[in-house]
Chain A
Amino acid sequence: MSNYPDENGRFGSFGGRYVAETLMPPILALEAAYKQARKDPTFWAEFDNFAQHYVGRPSPLYFAERLTEYGKGAKIYLKREDLNHTGAHKINNVLGQLLLAKRMGKKRIIAETGAGQHGVATATMAARLGMDCIVFMGAVDIERQKPNVFRMKLLGAEVRSVTSGTSTLKDAMNDALRDWVTHAEETFYCIGTVAGPHPYPEMVRDFQSIIGREAKAQILKAENRLPDAVVACIGGGSNAMGIFHEFIDDKDVRLIGVEAAGRGVDTDEHAASLTGGAPGILHGNRTYLLQDEHGQINDAHSISAGLDYPGIGPEHSYLHEIGRAEYVSCTDTEAVDAFQLCTKLEGIIPALESAHAIPRTLDLAKELGEHGLIIMNMSGRGDKDVNTIASLMGVEI
């Protein structure tokens, strides 16, 4: 089961390497470098050392007693990726990729970002490792995520405003690819999620799978058994792949991904690629995409900038197709309510992205009943979202 992707980067019919010829030699070189690093204990020793002392791992697995009481059903545990350095799971992947960049002798790092969390994580690691960092960010996102833009600049990164297309995350990714094509020799492209051409979906999953490995050991220690279900929100799907991966072979553990339903999956304004999309080719991989009847990419919508992407990692498309994981969705309104609920009940301000997982976790808690056991990935913290919430509440801060 865990033996995919195949040598061509395929997860069933998904994945692959759909890039311009100019990028084929660089991604083949990246693949070769990663293959070598992956079996080198010194690479992982350095990864683990940074993970422990810089990122702050292992992140706690926390019993959410008051959410559990509120849900009147299964026990709910939260995997606290929000407590990582820089405030989200994103740093796990960036740590792995930039250590690989260092190994490859690349000193110019580029990244795309939507909400700015991956951009901040990349700028942070680049500062720590003494590398140049350029972050591509849609002009629209720059406007709505000003604090993160400033953080990146403080960390020494250059933030490039992307005005092509719809000026959001997908366009930032287009521009990052354009930069990479132009400066392939000296540049390492640090993709922020389990998407893009092979080997990114596999590599990012491997770096994020530390979440699931820790969670499994922690739940066995706390409850002496595996959970009935693992729940995570999904944009590109890296936090979900990170926590799912270790449980894929445990057939009795349900894996549940929550997509952003925006204003509803029956409207034109959502970001639920699996629920409301169809297979297609974008940004280097074949996967489920939001697209029209002519194969043109539709704009995604979500209140959470981090989920505002018209695609999803190819491994999720595969897990969806073979029925190993279940994919459901959560609207903007539900997510905002859950944001406030979690803050009040647990004293944990969740990222708006992570808040999408809460309503479906509560539904499931009822369904499973009091003997049930759920782990929800709290993928990031919500400090970055307080402005959005305040303006929704009509409060000026």
Chain B
Amino acid sequence: MTTRIDKTFARLKAADQSGFVAYIMGGDPSHSASLELMKALPDAGADIIELGMPFTDPAADGPVIELAGLRALKSDTTVRSVLDMAVAFREDNDSTPIILMGYANPIHHMGYAAFAASAKDAGVDGAIIVDLPPEEDGELRAAFEAHDLALIRLATPTTNDARLPTVVAGTKGFVYYVSVAGITGAAKGENAAISDAVERIRTASGLPVVVGFGIKTPEQSAQVATHADAVVVGSAIVDAFHKNGKDAALSLVKNLSRAAQVKRP
């Protein structure tokens, strides 16, 4: 079965362009407000949606996403309520992939098998669990495989050649390259280094490589798009939504996605 993720990258490849991945925090500041934003993302240019599941102790995130998570928790967001956002989104969109992003404890608490089954039922396509490196994700990966969901791995600037095969083995859908050794919302990585890394990972994995962390402006989005199969922006969108509301966030998504979706030279 061809997945939504595969179809999306096939479409981008046919058009010879990079894609755009928009991250938002589920439940920030409320279930209804974040759902409304989510539903508007595809029309604003998002090819893939990363949907954050909040956690009290997001040690890989910077302050923007941490605070978004705490706002979401304050409005009683749970793994289940984030999955309900996916259900509602699928009522009128059956093509845009939804990738959940979060930390291990809430889904460990729910049970990996129950989480995988619920995610599949909700119309989710995959997940990135930041604190489950390849050494620790075996149980969740098996549950995901049983439901044909993609467990997406992260590669980083510290992932050296010796380690890269471990990281890409068993990953599905695409590989997420964290372009700076740091937390979300950090400064952007060097262009040349990104280009080299993307090439290396693409060769090792045979999968599309999306690049995120530190990308905030349309200029940066365009730069990264010359190398990456898709560009991910999170903190900047979350920040715009928090400070200036839905229209501002969507207008940023429009600018960032247009910059990313240029025809390759």
Contacts and interface: CB of A to CB of B under 8 A. Distances in A.
Interface of A: 8, 16-26, 28, 164-165, 170-171, 173-174, 177-178, 181-182, 184, 278, 280-284, 286, 289, 291, 293-297
B170 interface: no
Contact of A164 (B63, B104, B153, B163): B63
Contacts of A26: 158
B244 interface: no
Contacts of B58: 174
6 contacts: A178-B60, A181-B183, A184-B158, A294-B106, A295-B108, A297-B105
Contact of A24 (B107, B108, B163): B163
Given A165-B66, A178-B183, A280 B105 contact: yes
Interface in B70-106: 70, 73, 78-79, 103-106
A24 B78 CA distance: 28
B160 interface: yes
Given A24-B163, A296-B56, A297-B105, A8 B135 contact: yes
Given A20-B154, A281-B108, A164 B78 contact: no
A291 B105 CA distance: 9
Nearest to A279: B108
Interface string B149-173: 0000111111110010001000000
A170 B57 contact: yes
Contacts of B57: 165, 170-171, 174, 282-283, 297
Interface residues on B, range: 35 or more
Name the 8 nearest CB pairs between A and B, nearest first. Answer: A295-B109, A295-B106, A182-B182, A22-B156, A177-B59, A281-B104, A21-B154, A297-B56
Contacts of B183: 178, 181-182
B55 interface: yes
B117 interface: no
Interface string B178-212: 10011100100000000000000000000000000
Contacts of A8: 135
B60 A181 contact: yes
Interface string B108-125: 111000000000000000
Contacts of B159: 21, 24-25
A19 B133 contact: yes
A21 B155 contact: yes
Contact of A281 (B79, B131, B154): B131
B178 to A, nearest CB: 6
A171 B131 CA distance: 16
Contact of A22 (B56, B110, B132, B181): B181
A17 B56 CA distance: 19
Interface string B15-35: 000000000000000000000
A37 B104 CA distance: 32
Given A165-B56, A295-B105, 10 more contacts: A21-B154, A24-B158, A28-B163, A174-B58, A177-B60, A184-B158, A286-B108, A291-B109, A294-B109, A297-B57
B53 to A, nearest CB: 10
Interface centre among A170, A280, A289, A295 (most CB of B within 10 A): A295
Given A21-B159, A25-B158, A178-B60, A289 B70 contact: no
Contacts of B163: 24-25, 28
B204 to A, nearest CB: 14
A24 B137 CA distance: 13
Given A294-B106, A295-B105, A296-B55, A22 B158 contact: yes
